[in-house]
Chain A
Amino acid sequence: MRFGIVDLPAETQAFWREVSDFLDRHLTADVRAEMLASGSEFHEGFHRALGACGWILPDWSLEDGGGGLDPLRLHILRTEFARRHVPSITADTTYIGATVVARWGEPELRAAVLPDIAAGSVRICLGYTEADAGSDLAAVRTRAVRRDDRWVVNGSKMFTTGAESSQYCFLLARTNPEVSKHRGLTTFLVPLTHPGVEVRPVQTLGGERTNVVYYSDVDLGDEYRLGPVDGGWRVMSEPLDEEHGIGSADVSGLGHINGQGAWHLRTLRQVYAEALDWARRADGDSTPWDDMAVRHGLAEVALDLEVCVNTPEAMGRVIAADALIRDTGLLLDLVGPAGVLSRGADGAVASGTFEWGHRFAQASAIYGGTTDIHRNIIAERDLGLPRRKPPTK
């Protein structure tokens, strides 16, 4: 066990400063506002600036357009980005897509897209789930039918966040309806500019913009296939497991042990910091901090934050989502009547951060596989509990 201060060599300190200076320069208030307004945390200029540093694929080699960062520098990059609350949904989906293309794409496809992905001019969104699939991803019905050496795609995908600023979608499609549902799936990299692709916005409770993407007789060359025909479940699961924090146990002793939950903690820290500012602002001749109920409420949030960073992987994902939902609700209660006022409204508390935070939080138990799915995973993998028998038809 060790939790002491890491002895950073001078050149690593300099790298940290470089990252910090980069954010000072490129993540201006205007850029941040545009990212938030986009609903998918995207800003073209900022994304390309990341690309110029190799930080879209930070741990990839320099030859492959990455940042060539060693684990320590990578950790510093992530720490500083988290500390500064850098929005990154589209950058993250792009990273996942790039990983799959590099692993499974044919050489021509890799050569055609990876340099542009690394540079920031090409982004990738994820076309996994559908209106009737939800967390039951293997139930997807979007079809890809082989015609000679090409494919024809028909169907629709829900919650394709970032499609409006992406050039490609990493698509999960059914290629064989005759076999069991996990087996008949294949993944593709679909150019969103192809005829028959239509992106329609879907606005959400938390203010994020996502999309439904329709595929109507989309004609696709076989060169866009990623991985074996009918082998898509495995191709998709590898990065999804990474997203879930499964199999990603950190062995360096540096990284955060709470995988996907680290996302939710980023938001919780942000709202908590606003609450601390609110608590010490004078209200007449006292401050909210003078009220013991307020102090204890904030202590509960501080406790949850500490508990969550100590809870690993899939477990951390569940507890962080639940903490975010519970604590944004608690903070909204604490700030009093004006907490209900929206950003920009007369007298809004902290620009409506608390009412926004509580709305935004609700998604955290759903996207990336619901907390219910993760409890199933914990029950089966960690506790060895039996899986429910499928109902007999």
Chain B
Amino acid sequence: MTGVSYDPGHQLRWNDYRLDDDQQALSDAFGDFFRKECPTDLVRLSEPLGFDRNLWERLVAVGGVSMAFTLDEEPSATLVDLVLVAEQAGRRLAPVPWIETVVAARLLARLGAAAAAGSALAHGAPLAFGLRDVVSPATQLVPSAAVASAVVGLWEGSLVALSGSPPAPHVPNVGCSPLAWVAPDHYAVVEVLAEGDGARAEHQRGVQEWKLLMAASLVGLAEAALDDGVEYAKQRVAFDEPIGAFQAISHSLADVAIAVEGARRLVRKASWYAEHDDPDEALRLVSMAYLYAVRTAALATRVGVHVQGGFGLTLESDQQLYFRRSRGWPLVNGDPRAELTVISGTIERDHVVAGGSRP
């Protein structure tokens, strides 16, 4: 630890998490939108498919999808902006395929794809995004594919857009998401967007954006589960006191609050790095933000159910809505601990291969 001396290239970085006025206004506007348009009754009514077409059309109408991409040179929303929207959507468990549509649309726009998939895009139709790098068997479980008019994904090394057929059949799942098994031969139109290393790189970028937006969404979900748990703990009286006065309850909720606050800032910071063209740091932070947000949502909903005791187990409680989605939404991307391998790769780059410890 001694012998670390002054490095003239040593840098100081800003550490400023504050939203600017535009970002705050955006967050507030979508916060209001989802609060008004998406009460938990609507979430329940959308089950088991997890899609409310009316909500989707309203979201499209307010520009919630078109803001995310551009087909010409106009600037679109930043990843920071999209993370703020995702947080608000997750907070209300919005049953819309927003994340997959945004990720797929941005990818199509980057590749300048104007054909069949592009036309779906222009009409505000839902899109799906396949997360896995599939070789064989050729089917994969794709989020939002059960309601999407086009699916973007990687099959046998090719990045393709599938369209021209009705959506693949919904498969019931714990998170009440519009999941479907997708194979390219199910679709009438198969457009190859890219092949080889370029395809993998573009797909990887899409997966990174999906993880970032999913992480933000899970932060919102976790916060909602926390708020619901706190409200219950204030009202419910047992042993002559509100149960929130007992430390077994209040400390569990405090731990959730700590995790939510840290996860929110970490996700926003990761989005800043992803937006500001610092790919190494973004890789590290996105993996960390995603893994931590998944764990935070799991903690928040486990505590949320437990705090409500027997009531938390009933379908009448909103906690079961949060709980099921906290698992169902992210796990379609596989075991979140896979991020530890990515993180250790960044350690290797920074410390182990370099042969020295970064201070």
Chain A residues proximal to chain B, CB less than 8 Å = 1-6, 8, 13, 16-17, 20-21, 24, 27, 29, 32, 75-76, 79, 83-85, 250, 253-257, 270, 273-274, 276-277, 279-280, 289, 292, 295-296, 298-300, 302-303, 306-308, 310-312, 315-316, 318-319, 372, 375-376, 378-379, 382-389
Contact = CB atoms under 8 A, between A and B. Distances in A.
Contact of A1 (B18, B250, B343, B346): B18
Nearest to B242: A386
A2 B6 contact: no
B102 to A, nearest CB: 20
Given A295-B341, A384-B234, A388-B246, A75 B12 contact: yes
Contact of B241 (A17, A83, A254, A389): A389
B253 A379 contact: yes
A299 B250 contact: no
B347 A276 contact: yes
Interface residues of B, number: 66
A303 B284 CA distance: 9
B165 interface: no
Contact of B247 (A280, A302, A372, A383): A372
Contact of B14 (A21, A254, A387): A254
A266 to B, nearest CB: 11
A129 to B, nearest CB: 21
Contacts of B347: 276, 295, 298-299, 302
B352 A1 contact: no
B14 A3 contact: yes
Given A299-B343, A299-B344, A302-B288, 17 more contacts: A2-B14, A13-B8, A17-B6, A24-B6, A27-B2, A84-B4, A257-B15, A318-B258, A379-B244, A379-B254, A383-B230, A383-B253, A384-B234, A385-B230, A385-B245, A385-B253, A386-B244
Task: Please indicate which of the listed interface residues A27, A253, A382, A386 has the most CB atoms of chain B within 10 Å of its own CB.
Answer: A386
B16 interface: yes
Nearest to B273: A3
Contact of B23 (A1, A253, A303): A1
A384 B265 contact: no
B136 interface: no
Contacts of B258: 311, 315, 318-319, 378
A83 B6 CA distance: 10
Task: Please indicate which of the listed interface residues B1, B226, B242 has the most CB atoms of chain A within 10 Å of its own CB.
Answer: B1
Nearest to A279: B352
A311 B17 CA distance: 11
A155 B261 CA distance: 42
B15 A1 contact: no
A253 B269 CA distance: 13
Nearest to A33: B2
Contact of A296 (B14, B16, B250, B344): B344
Given A17-B6, A29-B2, A303-B343, A296 B337 contact: yes
A375 B254 contact: yes
Given A280-B352, A311-B258, A2 B343 contact: no
A289 B244 CA distance: 45
Given A17-B6, A315-B261, A383-B250, A5 B13 contact: yes
14 contacts: A5-B13, A13-B8, A76-B12, A255-B15, A257-B15, A295-B348, A306-B284, A306-B288, A315-B258, A318-B255, A376-B247, A379-B244, A385-B242, A386-B244
B25 interface: no
A273 B3 CA distance: 13
A76 B10 CA distance: 11
A20 B233 CA distance: 51
Interface in B318-359: 337, 340-341, 343-344, 346-348, 351-352, 355, 357, 359
B39 to A, nearest CB: 23
B291 interface: yes
Contacts of B359: 83-84, 273
Interface of B: 1-2, 4-6, 8, 10-20, 23, 80, 226, 230, 233-234, 241-242, 244-247, 249-251, 253-255, 257-259, 261-263, 265-266, 268-269, 272-273, 276, 284-285, 288, 291-292, 337, 340-341, 343-344, 346-348, 351-352, 355, 357, 359
Contact of A276 (B4, B244, B266, B351): B351
A253 B291 contact: no
A383 B234 CA distance: 10
Contacts of A296: 337, 340-341, 344
A318 B351 CA distance: 28
A51 to B, nearest CB: 22
A9 B169 CA distance: 62
Contact of B352 (A83, A276, A318): A276
B12 A310 contact: no
Given A296-B344, A375-B247, A383-B254, A307 B14 contact: no
Contacts of A312: 261, 265
A230 B35 CA distance: 50
Contact of B230 (A5, A279, A384, A388): A384
B12 A79 contact: yes
A215 B244 CA distance: 41
A257 B14 CA distance: 11
Sorted from nearest, which 10 A-B pairs have the closest CB atoms?
Answer: A253-B16, A20-B6, A311-B262, A379-B250, A295-B344, A385-B244, A299-B343, A375-B254, A378-B254, A299-B340
A382 B17 contact: no
A343 to B, nearest CB: 14
Contacts of A277: 357
A378 B257 contact: yes
B268 A1 contact: yes
A312 B20 CA distance: 19
Contact of B15 (A3, A29, A382): A3
A262 to B, nearest CB: 12
A30 B284 CA distance: 37
Contacts of B12: 5-6, 8, 75-76, 79, 254
Task: Please indicate which of the listed interface residues B253, B262, B291, B355 has the most CB atoms of chain A within 10 Å of its own CB.
Answer: B262
A376 B250 contact: yes
Given A4-B13, A384-B234, A298 B253 contact: no
Contacts of B341: 292, 295-296, 299
Contacts of A280: 351-352, 355
